[in-house]
């Protein structure tokens, strides 16, 4: 289950469901979507991909409740979320828990890439 509430992400759909990306979920997600886990940009996903990502993240919760969740159920399920922002926010939370500091480093690294200035200064043509 996990120790404490801070490593459990609940997404509000038809009911509160645990969104979790364990080994099995990630393995199935990669096999189905072909995404490179290190390059996942939640903001760049299309709606179909978001359905798949949430679907695989909900499988362990469905199993725990003896539900058989199908990908084609996701459209109606996601319609019951309070907002689209809620879905994306919970997905990001669940991913950062799944990857821990690895995920955070990737996010921070992507935001700070000011490699343009040094490159421009190198090409001044002046020789020492």
In this structure, is residue 113 part of a structural domain? yes
Q: Which helix (H) or strand (E) holds 16?
A: strand 16-19
98: CB partners within 8 A, 6+ apart: 20, 21, 22, 26
Tell me, yes or no, whether 2 lies in a domain: no
As for how many domains the chain has, the answer is 1
Q: Does residue 3 fall inside a structural domain?
A: no
> Along the chain (128 residues), what's the average pLDDT of each consecutive run of 10 residues?
67 98 93 84 85 96 97 96 96 90 46 42 50
Residue 32, pLDDT score: 93
Residues spanned by the domain of 101: 8-122
Provide the pLDDT for residue 128. Answer: 56
pTM confidence score? 0.73
Please provide the distance, in angstroms rounded to a whole number, between the alpha carbons at the two ends of the chain.
63
Q: Answer whether residue 128 is part of any domain.
A: no
32 lies in some domain? yes
Residue pLDDT, tens place only, 68-77? 999 999 999 9
């Amino acid at each position: 289950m996990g120790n404490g509430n801070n490593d459990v992400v609940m997404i509000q759909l038809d009911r509160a469901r645990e969104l979790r990306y364990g080994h099995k979920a990630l393995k199935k997600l990669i096999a189905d979507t072909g995404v490179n886990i290190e390059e996942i940009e939640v903001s760049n996903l299309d709606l179909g991909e978001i359905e798949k990502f949430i679907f695989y993240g909900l499988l362990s919760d469905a199993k725990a409740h003896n539900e058989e969740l199908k990908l084609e159920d996701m459209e109606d399920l996601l319609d019951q979320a309070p907002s689209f922002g809620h879905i994306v926010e919970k997905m990001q939370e669940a991913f950062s828990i799944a990857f821990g500091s690895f995920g955070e480093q990737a996010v921070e690294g992507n935001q700070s890439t000011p490699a343009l200035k040094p490159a421009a200064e190198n090409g001044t043509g002046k020789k020492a």
